[in-house]
Structure 1
Amino acid sequence: MRQTALTRRAVLRGSTAVVALLAAGLPLRAAPGRVKLRLMATSDLHVNVFPYDYYRDKPDDTVGLAKTAALIAAARAEVRNALLFDNGDLIQGSPLGDYVAYSKGLKPGEVHPMVAAMNTLGYLCGTLGNHEFNYGLEFLGNALAGETFPTVCANVVKADGTPLVEPTRVFETTVVDEAGTEAVLRVGVIGFVPPQIVQWDKSNLDGRATTIDIVEAAMAHVPALRAKSDVVVALCHSGIAGGERRGGEENAALHLAAVDGIDAIFTGHQHLVFPGKDFDGIDGADARRGTLHGKPAVMPGFWGSHLGVIDLELERIGAGWTVAGFAVEARPIYERGADRKIVSKVDAVASVLAAAQADHDGTLAYVRQPVGETTAPITSYWAAVADDPSVQIVSQAQLWYAASLGADAGLPKLPLLSAAAPFKSGGRGGPDYYTDVRPGPVAIKDVADIYLYPNTLRIVKVTGADVREWLERSAGLFRRIDPAASGPQMLIDPDFPTYNFDVIDGVTYRIDVTKPSRYDKDGKIADEAAHRIVGLMLDGKPLDPAAEVLVVTNNYRAGGGGHFPGADGSTIVFEAPDTNRDVIVRYVMKEKTINPSADGNWRFVPWPAEAEVIFVSSPKADASSLPAGISVEPAGAAENGFAKYRVRLG
């Protein structure tokens, strides 16, 4: 693949972005007779083509493949040889994806707008992400059929044992060494997806496809791929986690790197950036240099926020090639200025926008359709510290739906509860990543802002003891507050995703964060003796541990997502044909006017008034929506544009 000639000036311009360089060192110009090969990748694009926030209905310079495309063009211009890959999660994750799946449809022969945009950029190969399965295998097949590049995945097989897509692919590409001599390089590519898709999308995959452990699949396929390749690239839609390998890991990239025969790894799924401080302290991962077990690896953010770049310096040894040096970086499309404002580093590429323009326009019309009104704001600024309207409206809709099913559903006559979690609550998404629906008309975009995922509704039958453990698992969101400590104490564990902080409506309870957490962030028992949930009541009486109840939730949770007690797929008693988001739309349409104010069914056990408990939220957060019994006051600026608040009870 012949590219624009590398110049010293071009490399020097880009050198400040280099995050990792092995001691072996990749020189600014590779030695004559050696080949410098640039590998680039996007990951977790989630149908973000335009730099646009459909939820807030305004431009957003922090997202969009059209912006990443400018980085791709610049990175290609710096070197002679460059290859572009994608690491999965393409077709779901924004209202554009839902518009195509639910409103417009995708017929055989039609090209998905995300795919159309990618087709303009010259991708060599891609892999599947877990969200590729959210709309079913037929929809996925139609989307993949429009690609001008192949997709590989080695650990998903159909019911008959044959691969769902090609496990591996070898590409022959013509490269130019530093002396100007051409050579043919064989690049082998293998892909992987979290094996948990069989739980998360059970309704779409049960009886049709299953998964294999990532490392086991690699060990089965890499030796043959290595024998046919000069360079082997792993597209691993799986994150980076430490600890001993046990098999079946959701985040297995570090363990994958230990497999012989792989030269470079693109990781994803976690919506983080590697190299970067998010991965400090993990044995085997060098978060500064960008290596996993010594091999170059990069995780390029999410929604188009970064371009992952791995530069390999290849040296010919006999009839083959060896990696003599490498460099790793994750190039961002924006940075945050000292005043917390977003500073765009690139302009959107017009040809990428044009490829998806018609569907972008259709999405805007789709999400702007009003479905009802709200008399109160629906925000998630305080969803992790108080009963919250953005969670309350979900539970109201889920309980309405379940109560209206009637006798034909075959449900036992048991108390109905609802489990829901805050999806947009800051964190990795940044200080603007919160639900904020003002009083007045409610449009589809607002419902999508409240409920991000195309989950389908499920009902599980569990015991009162399961409900208590379910809530204990949720309470792992909080760090322990030491009543005797002086100085500020951070309330939230930043490594605990808020989508695993389930609030259960239909019962009342309190959370004592002065006690240690019973569960860790992965849902494993951390302290057998610990209990944070107190005063768990149903209809004003203590909830009997042996009593049976029904909990309305979603397919992800009911199928085992998050590892919640009582929710492992075996307790499901009803599988709805409707998505949770559609249930909310139908509820709002029926009610016409809603009041989603939280009912305060959960709260904290008071900590000492002198304890300085700090919570991080958006600087735009409005404390007027907090329920009685809790208050906040500003406590200064936090990192990455967030603000600190001191939480007081009583």
Structure 2
Amino acid sequence: MLHPISRRSLLGGIAATGALAMVHPFSARAAAGQAHLRIMETTDLHVHVFPYDYYGDKPNDTMGLARTASLIGQIRAEAQNSILIDNGDFLQGNPMGDYIAYQRGMKDGDMHPIIAAMNVLGYDGGTLGNHEFNYGLDFLFKVIAGANFPLVCANLARGTLAANPRDDDLFLKPYTILERTITDGAGATHPIKIGLIGFVPPQIMTWDARHLTGNAATRDIVRTAEAWVPEMREKGCDLVIALSHSGIGQQEWAENLENASVPLAAVPGIDAIVTGHSHLDFPGPKFDGLAGVDNAAGTISGKPGVMGGFWGSHLGLIDLLLERDGSSWKIASHTCEARPIYERVDRKVVALVPDTPAVLAAAKAEHEATLAYVRTAVGKTSAPLQSYFALVADDPSVQIVSQAQTWYVTDMLKHTEWNDLPVLSAAAPFKAGGRGGADYYTEVPAGDIAIKNVADLYLYPNTVQAVVVTGADVKDWLEMSAGIFNQIAPGAVDADLINGDFPSYNFDVIDGVSYRIDLTQPAKYSSKGELLDAEANRIQDLKFNGQPIDPEQKFIVATNNYRAGGGGNFPGIAPEKVIFQAPDTNRDVIVRYIIEQGTINPSADDNWSFAPAGGATVLFASSPRAGAFVEAVKTMKIEPAGDGADGFALFRITL
């Protein structure tokens, strides 16, 4: 058997807690010399062990490895042979991760709760994601030292790169070979060698430059695979599975693609691919019509592939019917699915599987300590903090971030050569629905504000940085941000407002200036920062201190290390423009600001709005809860417009 009985026993027979296990057709029809292999994938867990939303301080049935574990038990019971792998981004992403990193810490020999939970489930292997580096290399390697399974990464090297990928001084093994015994349809056992090779986005060198510059280097994902996969074949691998912490993007190869899974799957010698990073589920409707991807067949460049959602929302599942080919194995047939842990019925979330007690127990102490940590009050807010309209109007949840950043950077630079330059602040909404779902918004009532609320406002452990730019750069920065909106014809009726390919964390609002966005103009830049139309001019009436902005005037813009380092590919923003790198995270700065103020007033100052568009109406999706806050938006008319998909509500704006 591929999966030993001892590992199954750790789950306490969890398959019995769900629906009655049914044998998969591949297992039912496999003959002598044929075998059914199930490849199970988790990805982008982001420390979500419990089905619990620490930001909202309430249970949440859409997340949690303890729920995914019940699927794992069911799926193992449906097949004779299975392996379980993780595709990265397990270490950062919720307050439990921050509590361990910043409060409890990791000493040599300590066990991290996400690793403890994964050990319960008996993973066969895994790779690293980009968020594994957010807390630094020393922290990362103390954490993964506790894993009872191999972690691999082929394109992350110490120091600098060698002339050849095989000569790089890698932090982890590039691949591992699982030498297992597989049972065929007649009950006979055979040896099989399954190779796992892992990849991380090269962009970590930008996103976590403060931890990695001078200490690490990354290679292009596809070129790295081309170097190592032949060696895996030479060592007798029957199957090679790529663990790609990289999204499903363009078909054509380009150097150092962030979302490289389509050209990666095309590398000769790779048999199947598990993906992630994008927080989507594949096969799924969002991938219809994508070049190199067959959504119906579940293939990427013709190879079986899967992406298992995020936060434990799905279990990625590739079923292979293998046939003996001489002394080795080949894939005769396959099926792929991303199996969910919940469904939505009439806007309500319905859990499809129960908790797995052994997984909860592995992280119980840390869960309780995290609850105590996030419930600690640090001040008060005089107005509600909510992000339901953060993409369509100046927003209190973004406003407070900018207020704190401006306060901090002004103080830090007051005795420097930059003291006389005006300080602006750029901040983006992080929880604004989208791929996170209809519940993925911030809502903090007036009154006490706790650490959990600050973490809810600012999800990532970024550090504060400041750049010096010109007035022309400020305008281009905002032109890039305005790419989140579709172009709207004057007088249009109920046009879609939001470009779904543009992530909300790249919708920067710059405080300290005022401006309007003309949606009748085309976007100047694509979501990737590519120049689309040099003559486009969405940003209108851009003013500083009530006067048209001087394109030559210099400004300091407070932001984070991701943006200042080039994240999001904003025009004119690059590391050489950084004048200040703070030792403090943006979240810590927000906490300190609230403590100093005692009571904050986060009411939006309406420094930006949409320009008129001939009475056009546009639709956008938000939470059904947003209706209670419509009156808080003063710059436009917003009205309910019925139900949207996947639990969202639609709202109409008249321009």
Task: Return the TM-score normalized by structure 2.
Answer: 0.94
Partner AA of 1:413 in structure 2? D
| Residue 150 (structure 2) aligns with | 150
| Residue 163 (structure 2) aligns with | none
Does 2:44 align with 1:44? yes
| Residue 585 (structure 2) aligns with | 579
| Residue 323 (structure 1) aligns with | 331
Aligned counterparts of 2:417 and 2:139: Cα–Cα separation in 1: 30
1:78-477 paired onto structure 2 within 5 Å: 78-159=78-159, 161-228=168-235, 229-337=237-345, 339-407=346-414, 411=418, 413-477=420-484
C-alpha displacement of 1:484: 4.0
Tell me if the contact between 1:3 and 1:77 (Cα under 8 Å) persists in the aligned partners: no
Residues 1:15 and 1:567: Cα distance change in structure 2 (over 3 Å)? farther
Tell me if the contact between 1:34 and 1:316 (Cα under 8 Å) persists in the aligned partners: yes
Report SS of the residue matched to 2:455: helix
Report SS of the residue matched to 2:250: coil
Report SS of the residue matched to 2:467: strand
Question: Which runs of no fewer than 5 residues in structure 1 stay unpaired?
Answer: 19-24
Residues 1:3 and 1:395: Cα distance change in structure 2 (over 3 Å)? closer
Aligned counterparts of 1:48 and 1:548: Cα–Cα separation in 2: 43
Does 2:517 align with 1:489? no
C-alpha displacement of 1:244: 2.6
Q: What CA deviation, in whole Å up to 9, does each residue of 1:398-440 have, x standing for no partner?
A: 0000111145555353111100000000011111100000000
Partner AA of 2:82 in structure 1? A
Aligned counterparts of 1:260 and 1:170: Cα–Cα separation in 2: 18
Tell me if the contact between 1:367 and 1:445 (Cα under 8 Å) persists in the aligned partners: yes
| Residue 620 (structure 2) aligns with | 615
Report SS of the residue matched to 2:154: coil
Partner AA of 2:392 in structure 1? V
Aligned counterparts of 1:625 and 1:554: Cα–Cα separation in 2: 32
Aligned counterparts of 2:22 and 2:603: Cα–Cα separation in 1: 52
Report SS of the residue matched to 1:48: coil
Q: What CA deviation, in whole Å up to 9, does each residue of 1:252-301 have, x standing for no partner?
A: 00010110001110000000010011111111101122101110000000
Question: Which runs of no fewer than 5 residues in structure 2 stay unpaired?
Answer: 6-15, 161-167
Tell me if the contact between 1:421 and 1:498 (Cα under 8 Å) persists in the aligned partners: yes
Q: What CA deviation, in whole Å up to 9, does each residue of 1:52-99 have, x standing for no partner?
A: 000000000000000000000000011111000000001100000000
Report SS of the residue matched to 2:584: strand
| Residue 21 (structure 1) aligns with | none
Residues 1:631 and 1:250: Cα distance change in structure 2 (over 3 Å)? same
Task: Return the TM-score normalized by structure 1.
Answer: 0.95
Q: Which of 549, 552, 565 is the matching residue for 1:559?
A: 565
C-alpha displacement of 1:445: 0.2
Tell me if the contact between 1:69 and 1:349 (Cα under 8 Å) persists in the aligned partners: yes
Tell me if the contact between 1:4 and 1:77 (Cα under 8 Å) persists in the aligned partners: no
Aligned counterparts of 1:532 and 1:267: Cα–Cα separation in 2: 36
Aligned counterparts of 2:27 and 2:99: Cα–Cα separation in 1: 47
Partner AA of 2:568 in structure 1? G
Residues 418-427 or 457-466, more deviating: 457-466
Q: Which of 583, 589, 595 is the matching residue for 2:595?
A: 589
| Residue 69 (structure 1) aligns with | 69
Tell me if the contact between 1:617 and 1:645 (Cα under 8 Å) persists in the aligned partners: yes
Residues 307-316 or 431-440, more deviating: 307-316
Aligned counterparts of 1:620 and 1:607: Cα–Cα separation in 2: 27
Aligned counterparts of 1:14 and 1:286: Cα–Cα separation in 2: 29
Partner AA of 1:121 in structure 2? L
Does 2:504 align with 1:498? yes
Partner AA of 1:475 in structure 2? A
Tell me if the contact between 1:89 and 1:129 (Cα under 8 Å) persists in the aligned partners: yes
Aligned counterparts of 2:80 and 2:329: Cα–Cα separation in 1: 18
Aligned counterparts of 1:357 and 1:409: Cα–Cα separation in 2: 48
Aligned counterparts of 1:255 and 1:296: Cα–Cα separation in 2: 14
Partner AA of 2:404 in structure 1? A
Q: Which of 505, 520, 525 is the matching residue for 2:526?
A: 520
Partner AA of 1:43 in structure 2? T
Q: What CA deviation, in whole Å up to 9, does each residue of 1:12-59 have, x standing for no partner?
A: 97889x9xxxxxx95852222111111111000000000000000000
Residues 1:283 and 1:14: Cα distance change in structure 2 (over 3 Å)? farther
Partner AA of 2:229 in structure 1? V
**RMSD in angstroms over aligned alpha carbons?**
1.7
Q: What is the total number of aligned residue pairs between the two structures?
A: 634
Aligned counterparts of 2:258 and 2:625: Cα–Cα separation in 1: 35
C-alpha displacement of 1:626: 3.0
Partner AA of 2:617 in structure 1? E
C-alpha displacement of 1:3: 5.6
